[in-house]
């Protein structure tokens, strides 16, 4: 049995999800890895105390630096707002901790590049919270395409529509402020859409993009309370300083053409990340709101029998059997985080860098940088390395 000491920095919703996920790894994967929840940190003391009491950490703190300095901690989840990513990860690299950081890993592509450089120089293992890629149906799609099941790919359409800010009374959370989040929908949502596109269809060569902020002012949030889904009536308001929407035409290195689109104020979709990929021999589509199924079209079917078929995820699809014994026994969001935590801890236990790491976050950031340049140039921009 290999015991690995765990620290979590940031005990809001995402920090609690990470903490629960670590606890579930030995049970779901019958793993020889034993996560030990050592210390959790949050500047709001009540959240730090709640993390210790409710989730089973041995101790808590309001100073995240104590996590970096703790000799009993080997790995740390970083789930704080984007503006703290660089400072926190730098300290963790200096102390030799392995790091799982939530996307987009920094406020900007340059910060992402700096974080990736720090991790490489420190020789620490790293991971990124691109959790949607771990849905069994998505992993199966990746395998099917890799085996040539859809033939040569021709086009790809990806999106992430989450209406968490669709109500004008939604509070001005840190995600809507450039000084704290950096990018808006480009960092918060498009990062997932780009990562999924990279995994399914390969690297992106060039883009042409647009953006829009549809709701310019919102109520100020109460510090330490609620989350980015919270709404508030009355009181002072503030200006939204980053984008609500991003849309792009994309050209992949392989020659695949497609689109990527994200929005945080859309009406209708609640949490809809998905893709539709087409090849010479078939097509496949998946949506997170129905994450335990996908639609598959195979051109080899007989005439008169062609059309999309609904396929339920089951034990034949990667990792599904660790959660349910049969098709239609569905997984949820937290289960994807358990898979993610298991993959990260396996990387730490074996000493082998896993995927997705900071190098993958940097590849996503390079596409984001090209999209941001296209906003200004109003033309196609080539994806290049970030300085």
Per-residue pLDDT tens for 193-208?
A: 999 999 999 999 999 9
218 has a pLDDT exceeding 90: yes
Radius of gyration of the chain (CA): 21
pLDDT band at 231, cuts 50/70/90? confident
pLDDT tens digits, residue range 80-122?
999 999 999 999 999 999 999 999 999 999 999 999 999 999 9
Strands 245-252 and 257-263: antiparallel
237 has a pLDDT exceeding 70: yes
- Written as six digits, the tokens of 103 are 């996307």
CATH 3.40.50.720: which residues of the chain?
2-131
Higher pLDDT among residues 101 and 302, named by residue = 101
> Cα(112)–Cα(231) distance, rounded to whole angstroms?
31
- What is the percent of the chain where pLDDT is above 90? 93
pLDDT at res. 72: 98
230 has a pLDDT exceeding 90: no
Strands 309-312 and 282-287: unpaired
Average pLDDT over residues 322-331: 94
> Cα(52)–Cα(136) distance, rounded to whole angstroms?
32
Average pLDDT over residues 334-349: 98
Cα distances (Å, whole numbers) of residue 367 to 13, 162, 188, 191, 364: 28, 21, 14, 9, 5
pLDDT tens digits, residue range 262-271?
999 999 999 9
Which residue, among 226, 243, 102, 275, has the nearest Cα to 178 in the 3D structure?
Answer: 243
346 has a pLDDT exceeding 70: yes
Cα distances (Å, whole numbers) of residue 305 to 100, 280, 313: 46, 18, 22
pLDDT at res. 227: 74
CATH 3.30.360.10: which residues of the chain?
133-332+339-354+364-376
Which residue, among 297, 302, 272, has the nearest Cα to 284 in the 3D structure?
Answer: 297
> Cα(316)–Cα(325) distance, rounded to whole angstroms?
10
> Cα(162)–Cα(269) distance, rounded to whole angstroms?
6
Task: Please state the CATH superfamily assignment of the domain spanning residues 133-332+339-354+364-376 in this structure.
Answer: Dihydrodipicolinate Reductase; domain 2 (3.30.360.10)
Average pLDDT over residues 271-289: 97
- Written as six digits, the tokens of 25 are 């790894």
Cα distances (Å, whole numbers) of residue 30 to 2, 24, 73, 125, 339: 13, 10, 22, 23, 12
41 has a pLDDT exceeding 90: yes
pLDDT at res. 1: 80
Average pLDDT over residues 281-294: 98
226 has a pLDDT exceeding 70: no
pTM: predicted TM-score of the whole model, two decimal places: 0.95
pLDDT at res. 117: 97
Average pLDDT over residues 38-52: 96
245 has a pLDDT exceeding 90: yes
Average pLDDT over residues 242-268: 97
> Cα(80)–Cα(58) distance, rounded to whole angstroms?
20
Task: Give CATH for domain 2-131.
Answer: 3.40.50.720
Query: What average pLDDT does the chain have?
Result: 96
């Amino acid at each position: 049995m290999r015991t690995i000491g765990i620290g979590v920095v940031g005990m809001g919703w995402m920090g609690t999800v990470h903490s629960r996920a670590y606890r579930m790894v030995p049970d779901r994967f019958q793993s020889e890895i034993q996560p030990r929840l050592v210390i959790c940190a949050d500047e709001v003391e009540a959240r730090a105390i709640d993390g210790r009491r409710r989730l089973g950490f041995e101790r808590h703190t309001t100073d995240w630096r104590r996590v970096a300095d703790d000799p009993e901690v080997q790995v740390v989840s970083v789930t704080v707002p984007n503006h703290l990513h660089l400072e926190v990860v730098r300290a963790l690299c200096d102390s030799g901790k392995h790091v799982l950081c939530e996307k987009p890993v920094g406020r900007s592509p340059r910060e992402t590049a700096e974080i990736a450089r720090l991790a490489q120089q420190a020789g620490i293992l790293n991971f990124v919270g691109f959790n949607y890629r771990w849905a069994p149906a998505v992993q199966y799609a990746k395998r099917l395409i890799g085996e040539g099941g859809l033939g040569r790919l021709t086009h790809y359409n990806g999106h992430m529509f989450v209406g968490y800010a669709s109500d004008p009374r939604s509070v001005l959370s840190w995600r809507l402020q450039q000084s704290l989040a950096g990018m808006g929908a480009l960092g918060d949502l498009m990062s997932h859409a780009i990562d999924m596109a990279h995994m399914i269809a390969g690297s992106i060569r060039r883009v042409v993009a647009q953006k829009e902020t549809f709701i310019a002012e919102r109520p100020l949030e109460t510090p330490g309370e609620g989350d980015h889904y919270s709404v508030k009536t009355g009181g002072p308001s503030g200006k939204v300083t980053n984008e609500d929407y991003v849309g792009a035409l994309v050209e992949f290195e392989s020659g695949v053409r497609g689109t990527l689109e994200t929005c945080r104020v859309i009406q209708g979709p609640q949490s809809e990340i998905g893709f539709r990929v087409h090849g010479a021999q078939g097509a496949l589509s998946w949506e997170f709101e129905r994450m335990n199924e996908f639609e598959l079209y195979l051109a080899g079917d007989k005439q008169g029998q062609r059309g999309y078929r609904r396929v339920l995820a089951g034990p034949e699809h990667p990792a599904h059997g660790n959660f349910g014994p049969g098709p239609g026994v569905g997984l949820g969001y937290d289960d994807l985080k358990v898979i993610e935590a298991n993959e990260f801890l396996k990387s730490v236990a074996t000493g082998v860098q896993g995927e997705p790491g900071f190098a993958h976050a940097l590849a996503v950031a390079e596409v984001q940088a090209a999209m941001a340049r296209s906003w200004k140039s109003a033309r196609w921009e080539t994806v290049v390395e970030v300085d």
